[in-house]
Amino acid sequence: MHPGEFLTLLAPLSGPIVPIESVPDPVFADKVVGDGISIDPTTRTLLAPCDATVTQLHAARHAITLSAAGGVEILIHVGIDTVGLKGEGFTALVEQGDRVSAGQALLEFDADHILRSAPSLLTQIILLSGEASAIVERASGVATAGASRLMSVGPRRRAADDAQRASSAGEAGASRPPPRATVGVTSAVVAVPNPHGLHARPAAVLASEARSFAAAISVELAGRNANAKSVVALLNLGAGPGAELRIVASGSEAARAVARLVELVRSGLGEDLSAAPAAPERAAPASPAPAPRATRSTDDARRFHGVSAAPGLAIGPVCKIDPLAVEVEEHATDTEAELARLQKALSHTRLELKLLVAGSGKRAEQAEIFSAHLTMLDDPDVITRAEVAIVEGKSAAFAWREAVMASYRELARQSNPLLAARANDLRDVGGRALRHLAGGDEAQAAPAGSVVVAETLTPSEVVRLADQGVAGLVSVLGGTTSHAAILARSLGVPYLAGAPGALLDLEAGATAVLDALDVGEAALLLRPTDAELDAYRDRLGARRALRARQEAAAAERAVTRDGVRVAVLANIASADDARTAVRLGAEGVGLLRTELMFFDRATAPTEADQTAAYQAIADALGDRPLTIRTLDVGGDKPLSYMPLPAEDNPLLGIRGLRIGALHPTILRGQFRAILATRVRGAHRVLLPMVSSLDELLEAKQVLEEERRRAGSPPVELGVMVEVPSVAIQADRFAAEVDFFSIGTNDLTQYTLAMDRTHPRLAGRQDALHPAVLRLIDATVKAAQRRERHVGICGAVASDPEAVAVLIGLGVTELSVSVQAMPEVKSKIRELDAARCRELAKAALDLGTAAEVRALLAPGARPG
């Protein structure tokens, strides 16, 4: 391509444009094939993006290569993992060698057919001729096939060349030590101005800037020397406040690198130097703000406070989940294959972490942790250590684990506790990559009866740990409405979230009492005295006896003392849940959270997978109603294989039903899978995160189209009342739906403007806030006027303390977590509905959630 010449590529398909980095296949995301753009297609005919010659049409017809003016080579790859379809669902309209003009149809594909077997239709348009040309401009937003400009390709400029070289040097620097010095440049002494010295965050900033230079760079302190591109090495220098460093560089751009890094160190490496020296390094997500009614014993150093994410009491030895405790083969014979496996695992982990950072939105602490993990993952010293071991005959998994452990031990030896604490981060990220190398999640085994302590817990970890019979769970990150919390509640495992980070540094094995009975006073008590242990054991015994009585009566209906019947249904996520729910007295399923079937997988479930899962649940329920909620991801629930644009406020962005608009094939496919399920009782479809009438009407039309196409009988359609706008316009919504399900978790979040996953706000997220109660009241009244059915499926329905006020507001259906059913039913039987109504009326006039709680407190409660 000649200087000044540019080639415009038109969009070959219509649909939202997705950055290539977000494509859930590292081959594309990491630009292994080349730079490009992805489109999530809404059209089915692939058009030529420019005049070109078809140089290759893949035998499976899912990919086509074009050669355009100026030697520009373009690959268009339809879908992810579509090669396995062996051409099924694709019809080629051109042949190899054909000359095509811009906008000409190249191939057609059957999206429904493809999505039954492949995880995604995302289509990648990749520039192959990397050396000669580069993308100089790229579009964003939504593309129109044959009309929108997708990208401009121009000759690779020198500057772009340099930048590219620098960044690939950075990446290469991640896998091998910097080149040897040729001509060295050494800076003058520069003192570390940071109040805590060169700790993790500034070290990460320094390393990441150093990696943008091709030069070999080191940092010297008192005769010791560290690779400036390695966070671990920088931390190991132990440079405290005022430490006198010298930056030494050699090779390409050495002088520029030294000047830039000196300037960065002087400026505090991104830290606010005016901050009080005593400020903690990472704002501890530890203790939530105290719940209004709680008093806490702050004087006892053995007590670690958090919030009760799943209520209960547990006594057992502390078990810390060790991400590095994985069985791996020590030796391997094929060095090249093992080196490639290591790179692949690192690249998977990198992608996983990037998605976690992108999904963190404004949860700055979370984004910060995962960004720090990203820098540690690419640490050249750790990677070099692992590669050397592989070359010496070790397997990639063994070599990586030993390299991480060695660096971990060095860091943990640091006398500066802030630096030593970063050892845990290295262990964590090392374990993440190790899971990709070793396969599976065996790292998370914990003895039955133990109290597990971890930095974070994923939904799948909670399920596995519950299966292993652990007595309780504690995590530093997370809140009461995370999916891990929802699962812990449904599995009946006590869970304390938002605990202090210091817990991670404790020795495992000590006896602990996890007291998560009370949201405000939930805590882990370490090394209880004999008297404390006796008291807790008595409490545990009494709770078990009460529970046995409640379970014995679980199959009976829940009717108040004055004869008002309240249906108690279950919130579930799987067929196992459905079977347990039926055993514990569920009168149906009020909420099937389908998204949990979409988590913790590498690819999306196919329609057939989904129907099979729904059918197993319907079979377990017999003639009881089944309410299937469509996919509710986005916000606090990112999916690794469904790229969503990074958003500043993901909880206010593309989540719930809004995903349906962005990925229409997913919503349609899910509707089809739901309609294909044979349900003997009421068959209900529930739409999540609806905020305006047009979203509902659009989805309603799609459902009806699919129903007609499939010739299925009508199903009931309902909306979640999770956004205040829906409660306020409940009369308008009631005209369009068959039922309402009030999701108080989100309704509270959006009414009180409090992020539901925020650990520090967890204690103040109370659905009994009078503002939320007023919205429930408005919804119930509008539903009653139209004779629409209304239930509550948010966590407040599972709170025995709250049931009285909900019944008083006229709610006659509660959908609760599986384990809460026996207790909620027995609570209803103790109540008098007429007195509940008086109580609700009073609650609506109160000012705060604390006042409502006080009204409901034992002694003041009706019944």
Beta carbon nearer to Mg ion, 428 or 746 = 746
Selected range binding ligand PEP among 357-365, 671-679, 696-704, 737-745, rule: CB under 6 A:
737-745
Instruction: Verify whether residue 793 is a known catalytic residue.
Output: yes
Site string for Mg ion, 264-293 (x = CB under 5 A): ------------------------------
Q: What is the DSSP letter of 331?
A: B
Task: Please report how close the Cβ of residue 749 comes to ligand PEP at its closest, in angstroms.
Answer: 8
Tokens of 744: 């108080």
In the bound state with ligand PEP, the residue whose beta carbon lies nearer, of 670 and 744, is 744
CA distance 23 to 38: 7
Q: Which is nearer to Mg ion, 210 or 793 (CB)?
A: 793
Q: Is the CB of residue 38 less than 8 Å from the CB of residue 135?
A: no
Which residues lie closer than 8 Å to 341 by C-beta, 6 or more apart? 396, 437
- The C-alpha atoms of residue 772 and residue 765 are separated, in whole angstroms, by 11
**CB nearer Mg ion, residue 722 or residue 755:** 722
Choose which of 89, 718, 794, 810 interacts with ligand PEP (CB under 6 A): 794
Burial class (CB in 10 A: 0-12, 13-18, 19+), 327: exposed
Report the DSSP beta bridge partners of residue 464. none
User: Given the complex with ligand PEP, which of 187 and 744 has the nearer CB atom?
Assistant: 744
Q: How many residues can be counted in the chain?
A: 863
Nearer Cβ to Mg ion (515/722) = 722
For the record, the structure tokens of 295 come out as 């008093």
Q: According to CB under 5 A, which one of 595, 746, 755, 823 is a site residue for Mg ion? A: 746
Count interface residues toward Mg ion (CB under 5 A): 3
Q: Which is nearer to Mg ion, 488 or 499 (CB)?
A: 488
CB of residue 722 to Mg ion, shortest distance in Å: 5
Stretch of 80-88, 289-297, 619-627, 744-752 lying at the interface with ligand PEP (CB under 6 A) = 744-752
Per the listing, tokens 């719930």 go with 656
Give the position of tokens 């690249």.
Answer: 347
Q: Check residue 766 for interaction with ligand PEP (CB under 6 A).
A: no
* Partner that binds at residue 26, options ligand PEP, Mg ion, none, CB closer than 5 to 8 Å by kind: none
3-state DSSP call for residue 498? coil
Q: Please state the closest distance from residue 550 (CB atom) to ligand PEP, in A.
A: 23
Residue 793's binding partner among ligand PEP, Mg ion, none (Cβ under 5 to 8 angstroms by kind) is ligand PEP
To ligand PEP, the closest distance from the beta carbon of 778 in angstroms equals 17
Cβ distance to ligand PEP smaller for residue 414 or 744 = 744
Which of 36, 49, 285, 743 is close enough to bind ligand PEP by CB under 6 A? Answer: 743
- What tokens does 77 get? 């790859």
Taking CB atoms, the residue at the shortest distance from Mg ion is 746
Q: Pick the catalytic residue: 50, 319, 793, 836? A: 793
Contact criterion met (CB below 8 Å) for 74 and 97: no
Q: Beta strands of 557-625 (E only): which ranges?
A: 558-559, 565-572, 589-593
What is the closest distance, in whole angstroms, from the C-beta atom of residue 743 to Mg ion in the complex? 4
Contact call for residue 632 and ligand PEP (CB under 6 A): yes
**Least distance in Å: CB of 725 to Mg ion?**
14
**Least distance between Mg ion and beta carbon 626 (Å):** 19
Nearest approach, Cβ of 762 to ligand PEP (angstroms)? 14
Calpha distance 799→776 (Å, rounded) = 16
State the DSSP string of 531-572.
HHHHHHHHHHHHHHHHHHHHHHTTTS-EE-TTS-EEEEEEEE
Tell which positions 444-473 bind ligand PEP, by CB under 6 A: none
354 SS3 class? helix
What does 593 bind: Mg ion, ligand PEP, none (CB cut-off 5 to 8 Å by kind)?
A: ligand PEP
Shortest reach from residue 747's CB to ligand PEP, in Å: 6
Q: Which does 774 bind (CB under 5 to 8 A by kind): Mg ion, ligand PEP, none?
A: none
3-state secondary structure of 737: coil
Q: Which of 483, 683, 769, 789 is catalytic?
A: 483
Query: Which is nearer to ligand PEP, 455 or 722 (by Cβ)?
Result: 722
Using alpha carbons, select from 289, 303, 433 the residue that is nearest to residue 761: 289
Residue number, 218 or 745, with CB nearest to ligand PEP: 745
* CB of 667 vs Mg ion, minimal distance in Å: 17
Distance CA 571, CA 589 (A): 6
Q: Which long-range contacts (CB under 8 A, 24 or more apart) does 571-575 make?
A: 571/486, 571/490, 571/793, 571/798, 571/815, 571/816, 571/817, 571/818, 572/490, 572/617, 572/818, 573/486, 573/487, 573/490, 573/597, 574/613, 574/617, 575/613, 575/616, 575/617, 575/619, 575/620
Q: Which of 40, 746, 755, 799 binds ligand PEP (CB under 6 A)?
A: 746
Residue whose CB is less far from Mg ion, 381 or 595: 595
Other residues' Cβ atoms within 10 Å of the Cβ of residue 781 = 15
Measured from the CB atom, the residue of 720 and 852 that comes closer to ligand PEP is 720
Among 376, 651, 793, 804, binds ligand PEP (CB under 6 A): 793
Largest separation between any pair of C-alpha atoms in the chain? 91
CA separation for the pair 421, 196 (Å, rounded): 13
Q: Choose, by CB under 6 A, the member of 194, 366, 745, 757 that binds ligand PEP.
A: 745
Q: Among 493, 474, 496, 482, which Cα is nearest to 307's?
A: 496
Q: 64: Cβ–Cβ under 8 A, 6 or more apart, which residues?
A: 46, 54, 56, 57, 58, 75, 76, 94, 106, 107
Q: Which is it for the CA torsion 748, 752, 753, 759, positive or negative?
A: negative
Of the residues 395, 490, 611, 744, which one makes contact with ligand PEP according to CB under 6 A: 744
Among 133, 287, 481, 574, binds ligand PEP (CB under 6 A): 481
User: Interaction with ligand PEP in 297-356: which residues (CB under 6 A)?
Assistant: none
Task: Name the segment binding Mg ion (CB under 5 A); options: 173-181, 401-409, 524-532, 720-728.
Answer: 720-728
Q: How far is the CB of 320 from Mg ion (least distance, A)?
A: 32
The CB-of-757 to ligand PEP minimum distance in angstroms stands at 11
Judge residue 584's burial from the number of C-beta atoms within 10 Å of its C-beta, 0-12 exposed, 13-18 middle, 19 or more buried: buried
In the residue annotation, 663 being an active-site residue is answered as no
Nearby residues of 852 by Cβ (< 8 Å), 6 or more positions away: 766, 768, 769, 770, 773, 805, 843, 846
Instruction: Considering the complex, state which of residue 386 and residue 631 has its C-beta at the smaller distance from ligand PEP.
Output: 631
Q: Out of ligand PEP, Mg ion, none, which partner does residue 560 contact, by CB within 5 to 8 A per kind?
A: none
Q: Which does 481 bind (CB under 5 to 8 A by kind): ligand PEP, Mg ion, none?
A: ligand PEP
Least distance to ligand PEP, CB of residue 825, Å:
19
Distance separating alpha carbons of residues 456 and 475, to the nearest angstrom: 5
Examine residue 82 and tell whether it contacts ligand PEP (CB under 6 A). Answer: no
User: Residues 755, 362: contact at Cβ < 8 Å?
Assistant: yes
Residue of the chain from 154, 743, 810, 862 that contacts Mg ion (CB under 5 A): 743
Judged by CB under 6 A, the number of residues near ligand PEP is: 11
Site for ligand PEP in 577-596 (CB under 6 A): 591, 593
- CB contact set of 207 (below 8 Å; sequence gap of 6+): 228, 229, 230, 231, 234, 375, 379
∠ CA 590-595-599 to the nearest 5 degrees?
Answer: 145
Contact residues: ligand PEP, CB under 6 A? 481, 591, 593, 632, 722, 743-746, 793-794
Contact residues: Mg ion, CB under 5 A? 722, 743, 746
Q: Which residues are catalytic?
A: 483, 793
